[in-house]
Amino acid sequence: RKEVEQDPGPFNVPEGATVAFNCTYSNSASQSFFWYRQDCRKEPKLLMSVYSSGNEDGRFTAQLNRASQYISLLIRDSKLSDSATYLCVVREEEYGNKLVFGAGTILRVKS
Amino acid sequence: EAQVTQNPRYLITVTGKKLTVTCSQNMNHEYMSWYRQDPGLGLRQIYYSMNVEVTDKGDVPEGYKVSRKEKRNFPLILESPSPNQTSLYFCASSLGYGALATNPYYEQYFGPGTRLTVT
């Protein structure tokens, strides 16, 4: 079983759509969670951290459910520029600052 | 400009020919790490370093070596590259690490990547 699992997609959506990505993780001791964005095999960039209470950053909302070991990302009013691969990431502090990545979910926003 | 640099960005080489991929950061970061990315597998950690002269294995260390002689540099060495090491490699660094580190101290900054092909 992979440590972090995501639906690979691709998700093909029209501009303005709302789209949701889900992710599950296997290590119940994990404490820190993130969504990264990766454009066309460039370096991953931090999109947002994920907190237990849920958090929002503009059109992006992240949620964490520790009991189910489940993380989600909601994108509202999709833009063409949102087209990218979204990586679900769990931090393992016991190994210093190790990040465990899901394989990524591809989003394609079309006009 | 605060950044992580990697060189070379692209490399095609042959089996068995030793190579080094350099990584350098100018942010005085304690923690540095190497990842490789393969289709369908996500990024996987190869080696990491928590300070000068302190390195440890990640999930996929076989066939790789690293060194941390200076705080800013963390080169990745492939002594005898093989085709299964064809991959996209990323170096990353963060100011801090560990359970007590809080954002932004643990936020990792990634280099632009090195695309390696071993034939």
- Residue-level pLDDT, tens digit, chain B, 119 residues: 889 999 999 999 999 999 999 999 999 999 999 999 998 888 999 999 999 999 999 999 999 999 999 999 999 999 999 999 999 999 999 988 776 555 666 788 999 999 999 99
For residues B22 and B71, give the distance between their C-alpha atoms in angstroms, rounded to a whole number: 13
What's the pLDDT score for residue B102?
58
Candidates A31, A43, A104; nearest CB to B113: A43
Please, which residues bridge with residue B76 across strands? B21, B66
Work out the end-to-end distance of chain B between its first and last CA atoms, rounded to an integer number of angstroms.
36
Cis omega before residue A10 (within 30°)?
yes
Q: Are A87 and A47 in contact (CB under 8 A)?
A: no
pLDDT tens for chain A, 111 residues long, are 679 999 989 999 999 999 999 999 998 888 889 999 999 989 999 999 888 778 999 999 999 999 999 999 999 999 999 999 999 999 887 777 889 999 999 999 999
Candidates A31, A87, A96; nearest CB to B31: A96
What's the pLDDT score for residue A77?
98
Candidates A41, A97, A101; nearest CB to B88: A41
For residues A106 and A59, give the distance between their C-alpha atoms in angstroms, rounded to a whole number: 18
Give the amino acid at A69. Answer: Q
What's the pLDDT score for residue B2?
81
> Do strands B87-94 and B114-118 pair parallel, antiparallel, or not at all (unpaired)?
antiparallel
- Which class for B117: exposed (0-12), middle (13-18), buried (19 or more C-beta within 10 A)? middle
Identify residues of A whose CB sits under 8 angstroms from chain B CBs.
Answer: 4, 8, 31-32, 41-46, 49, 87, 91, 93-104
What's the pLDDT score for residue A98?
87
